[in-house]
Amino acid sequence: QQPVQSPQAVILREGEDAVINCSSSKALYSVHWYRQKHGEAPVFLMILLKGGEQKGHEKISASFNEKKQQSSLYLTASQLSYSGTYFCGTPWRGDNAGNMLTFGGGTRLMVKP
Amino acid sequence: DGGITQSPKYLFRKEGQNVTLSCEQNLNHDAMYWYRQDPGQGLRLIYYSQIVNDFQKGDIAEGYSVSREKKESFPLTVTSAQKNPTAFYLCASRVRANQPQHFGDGTRLSIL
C-alpha cells in the first residue's frame, strides 16, 4: 500500500518555507525522498532509517517518526531551483530490508520569484 | 562517467505489437528496477531484479516481461497484452538495500 503525501501541491514565494508530509499505514523502517523536475528523472534527496534520524541536504532537511509512521520534508528559504514534484518512497509490502520501494503520489512544489 | 542509459527516448507502438525498452548501467550495481509513471502520478513498480537471472514482479507486472542475462542490462518488453501502455517508463539501479536509487532519463511510450 502506497504512502500518502500531503499537501498535493504548494505554491511558495522565493525565500518562504514549506513542509511536505508522508504517512504510511504500515510500520516504517525507512523513508526515501526524491525530487523530479518536469519531464526528467527523479533525483535522490535523502534516506531516513529507523531511529528518528534527521538528515539534511542543502537547505532541505527531513525527520522520521517511526511511531507515527510518518516522515516530513522541510524546505527552508526556498529557491527557484526547488520547484518540482517531491516523492517519498517506503518499503514495498513486506520488504523491510528496503530492496523495493512503493512511492507516494507526489507533492508538486512551485517556487515563484 | 557512470550512469544509466535508457533508449529510445521516445517509442511508438502499434496495436498488437511487442516493444522492448533498453536499460543499461555501468555503475556496477546489483539491483535494477523498472517503474511506470502516468501523467501527474507517482512511480509504480513493474519489475525488480536483485541479481542476474533473477527478478520479481512489482505491483503492475501484467502485460510486461523482463530479462536479466547480464548485470549491466535489464530490458523491459511491453507486450500486446498491456492494453494501456502509454506512459513514461523509468529504469533505476542501486548498489544495495537502503541506498539511493539512480534513475535513467526515461522512455516515453505512446500508441500509434
Q: Read off the pLDDT band of A55 (50, 70, 90).
A: low
Task: Say if residue A54's pLDDT is above 70.
Answer: no
Q: In the structure grid, which three cell numbers stand for residue B50, read together?
A: 536483485
How would you label A35-70 residue by residue, b for 16+ Cβ within 10 Å and e otherwise?
bbeeeebbebbbbbbeeeeeeeeeebbbbbebeebb
Flag whether residue B48 sits within 8 Å of chain A, measured between CB atoms: yes
Picking from A23-37, A52-66, B50-64, which range would have the lowest pLDDT averaged per residue?
A: A52-66
Suggest the residue from A101, A102, A107 to mutate for an interface test with chain B (most B CBs closer than 10 A). A101
Put simply, the answer to whether A87 touches B101 (Cβ < 8 Å) is no
Put simply, the answer to whether A41 touches B100 (Cβ < 8 Å) is no
- What's the number of CA atoms in the CB half-sphere (13 Å) around residue B91? 29
Q: Are A111 and A14 in contact (CB under 8 A)?
A: yes
Task: Say if residue B90's pLDDT is above 90.
Answer: yes
Q: Are B109 and B45 in contact (CB under 8 A)?
A: no
Q: Are A41 and A107 in contact (CB under 8 A)?
A: no
Q: What percent of chain A has pLDDT over 70?
A: 91
Cβ neighbours of A41 in B, within 8 Å: 90, 103-106
Minimal Cβ distance to A87: which of B42, B59, B104 = B42
Question: What pLDDT does residue B108 have?
Answer: 96
Q: Which H/E stretch holds residue A62?
A: strand A60-65
From A48, which residue of chain B is nearest by alpha-carbon distance? Answer: B98
Question: Span A103-107, mean pLDDT?
Answer: 95
Flag whether residue B61 sits within 8 Å of chain A, measured between CB atoms: no
CB count in 10 Å sphere of residue A15: 11
Minimal Cβ distance to B97: which of A43, A44, A99 = A99
Instruction: Report chain A's terminal Cα–Cα distance, integer Å.
Output: 37
Task: Tell me what the pLDDT averaged over chain A comes to.
Answer: 89
Q: Report pLDDT digits (tens) over B45-79.
A: 999 999 999 999 999 999 999 999 999 999 999 99
Picking from A57-66, B41-50, B92-101, which range would have the lowest pLDDT averaged per residue?
A: A57-66
Cis check: omega of the bond before A42, within 30 degrees of 0: no
Q: Read off the pLDDT band of A27 (50, 70, 90).
A: confident
Q: Are A89 and B58 in contact (CB under 8 A)?
A: no
